[in-house]
Amino acid sequence: MMSKDATAWLVVAGLSLGPAVSNGLSRFSYGLILPAMQADLSWSFTEAGWLNTANAVGYLLGAVSTLALIDRVGPRRILSIGVAATPVALVGSAVFADLWMQSVFRVAAGIAGAGIFISGGAMAATLFRGEPTRNALAISLYFGGGGLGMIASGAVLPVLFDRYGVGAWPTAWLILAGLSALAVWPALRAARECPEPARVHFLVAQRLPVMRMIPAVLGYFLFAVGYIVYLTFLVALMHEGATRAGLIAACWTLLGLGVIAAPFAWRDVVARSAGGGPLALACLATGAATLLPIGLPGSVPALVASVVIFGLSFFIAPTAVTSFARKNLDQSAWGRAVGMFTAVFALGQILGPVLAGSVSDLTGSVAHGMGAAGLVLITGAALAALQCPLATRPIVEGA
């Protein structure tokens, strides 16, 4: 019979398929499809960026809805609905070429994705309570599931477009839908096995001390503005430099591998800090990674270093704010705190792609939009570093 610890880690693995679907396949993989859709449908950078903005609008709607419902219906039900709905939304993206119909399905995918991300994060935070290092690792592994989706899409989509051309973008969306469908059953089973956070009525839940969380909130907002630009336009930047499909596939796979490896690299940093340090470091690392290929254009080593650093860093930001909530707030407020951070995150993602796309259209190069995103990320690092612990006796390793 399987030990309790082994069962808990299997639950973490199953829950991590939620971010694999909501982030790795549904959201980030659009960066691989964007150049093909832009070329085949004659979109500007602003229009291409708009689809990720539409996804972020849905993410905001989903975050607000989840924040309102999580204490009433429970995170397990919200995660289950989101995981089941995402493949349907991806099929819709394959069917319609019209920008506004595409937007409808990207909004739907965003709504489902926010529900998955918030509810799964709140559930992962219940595992290994009283063991800060293992708890931090469980949370990190949950969010690191996004890397699985990135590896799967990175291994397939660049080769698809290299062989069949830009007109293959509907097939690409169908492949993502099929991969998402494969994750539905194991994710739902893990959700059934995982304990839920304590549910309380919204009106009697702990009030979030938002004013004392301003540095973390603003830092996370600027992180969202900047990081999504990198993932939206990285492949477009590589296309500007005539990068071959094999290198594109390798870079996207390295991003995904970095996401999976990140929990092991960052677990002690996250476990030992109850303030804004981990978020600040994640912003700084992703900002540097974003600026690296801009400062050294055409350099393959700079590009590879950029994707490795970015992959190892960007999913630590949601891990950091989830851990921050767990260490500084009552358990009854965890879901609401993660919901608030996700709403702020969604606002940043709404602005990032369309603003960077506009800058790229005005300057004639996507590099300028990505450069601006790198500076935004570094500013976010400076703000997040100002966040102090909220609890009188924060929960850190050795406390």
pLDDT of residue 266: 83
pLDDT tier at 212, thresholds 50, 70, 90: confident
pLDDT, one tens digit per residue, over 247-304 is 999 999 999 999 888 878 887 888 788 888 999 999 999 999 999 999 888 889 999 9
Over range 10-39, report the average pLDDT: 92
42 conformational bin, left if phi > 0, alpha if psi -120 to 50, beta if neither: left
pLDDT of residue 398: 41
pLDDT, one tens digit per residue, over 148-175 is 999 999 999 999 999 999 999 999 999 9
**Angle 74-21-85 (CA atoms, 0-180°, nearest 5)?**
60
| Cβ atoms within 10 Å, residue 268 | 14
State how far the alpha carbon of 192 is from the alpha carbons of 9, 70, 81, 195, 271, in Å. 14, 16, 13, 8, 27
pLDDT tier at 388, thresholds 50, 70, 90: confident
pLDDT, one tens digit per residue, over 53-64 is 999 899 889 988
Burial (Cβ within 10 Å: 0-12, 13-18, ≥19) of residue 198: middle
Contact of 385 with 216, CB cutoff 8 Å: no
The better pLDDT of the pair 139, 355 is held by: 355
Over range 206-230, report the average pLDDT: 90
Closest CA to 63 of 313, 325, 350: 350
Return mean pLDDT, the chain.
87
Contact of 235 with 32, CB cutoff 8 Å: yes
Contact of 60 with 346, CB cutoff 8 Å: yes
pLDDT tier at 198, thresholds 50, 70, 90: low
pLDDT of residue 183: 92
CA dist 368 and 361 (Å) reads 9
pLDDT of residue 8: 84
pLDDT of residue 206: 57
Name all domains of the chain by residue range, CATH numbers in brackets.
7-195+209-384 (1.20.1250.20)
Long-range contacts, stretch 40-45, CB < 8 angstroms, 24+ apart? 40/166, 40/167, 40/169, 41/97, 41/99, 43/99, 44/357, 44/361, 45/233, 45/236, 45/356, 45/357, 45/358, 45/360, 45/361, 45/366, 45/369
Percent of the chain topping pLDDT 90: 53
pTM to 2 decimal places: 0.84
pLDDT of residue 397: 47
Q: What is the crossing angle of helices 99-124 and 316-328, to 10°?
A: 40
